[in-house]
């Protein structure tokens, strides 16, 4: 059974940093990608970044380029994908979700919402003074 568990959310001041983690397990795919999305109240879920099982460069939405960094660590049974978020802004307050996809993720492309097979429960990030 595929399982994704996010952690690392919290309250941070504007300009501060947080590191989110997504622990993914229970899947066997020759190719996979894991994406981070965020959803603010009353808004659609927005793709932020993704990384894949190959050596393709990650994807970042324009608004986070230069501030967010995604990375992955492949252990035997669990894949961990971290999202380091720096210089956070109040408008980035949202619930952050990670999702598992079998579709391509690259520097210019991130799978859309419907292309994800499983999601985590989300972690709240609040950027406020």
- Predicted pLDDT of residue 77: 85
- The pLDDT of 26-54, averaged and rounded, is 95
Query: Strands, DSSP E only, in 61-106?
Result: 68-74, 78-85, 94-101
Number of H helices, E strands in the chain: 0, 11
At 111, give phi and psi (nearest 5°): -55, 145
Mean pLDDT, residues 95-121 taken together: 97
Q: How does pLDDT run across 115-124, given as a tens digit for each residue?
A: 999 999 999 9
Q: What is the pLDDT of residue 55?
A: 77
Tokens at 9, concatenated: 């959310």
Q: Tokens standing for 96?
A: 């952050």
Stated length of the chain = 129
Q: Are 88 and 123 in contact (CB under 8 A)?
A: no
> Cα–Cα distances in Å, from 126 out to 21, 69, 95, 109, 122?
16, 18, 8, 27, 13
Token pair for 57 = 């460069």
Residue 71: per-residue pLDDT: 97
Q: How does pLDDT run across 43-100, given as a tens digit for each residue? A: 999 999 999 999 799 999 999 999 999 999 988 789 999 999 999 999 999 999 999 9
Q: Is the dihedral of CA 82, 86, 90, 91 positive or negative?
A: negative
């Amino acid at each position: 059974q595929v399982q994704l568990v996010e952690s690392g959310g919290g309250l941070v001041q504007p300009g501060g940093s947080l590191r989110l983690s997504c622990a993914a397990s229970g899947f066997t795919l020759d190719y996979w990608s894991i994406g981070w999305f965020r959803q603010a109240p009353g808004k659609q879920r927005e793709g932020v970044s993704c990384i894949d099982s190959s050596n393709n460069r990650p994807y970042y939405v324009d608004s986070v380029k230069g501030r967010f960094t995604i990375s992955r660590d492949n252990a035997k049974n669990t894949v961990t994908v971290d999202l380091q978020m720096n210089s956070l802004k109040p408008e980035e307050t949202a619930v952050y979700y990670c999702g598992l996809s079998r579709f391509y993720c690259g520097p210019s492309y991130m799978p859309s919402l419907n292309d994800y097979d499983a999601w985590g429960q989300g972690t709240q990030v609040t950027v406020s003074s």
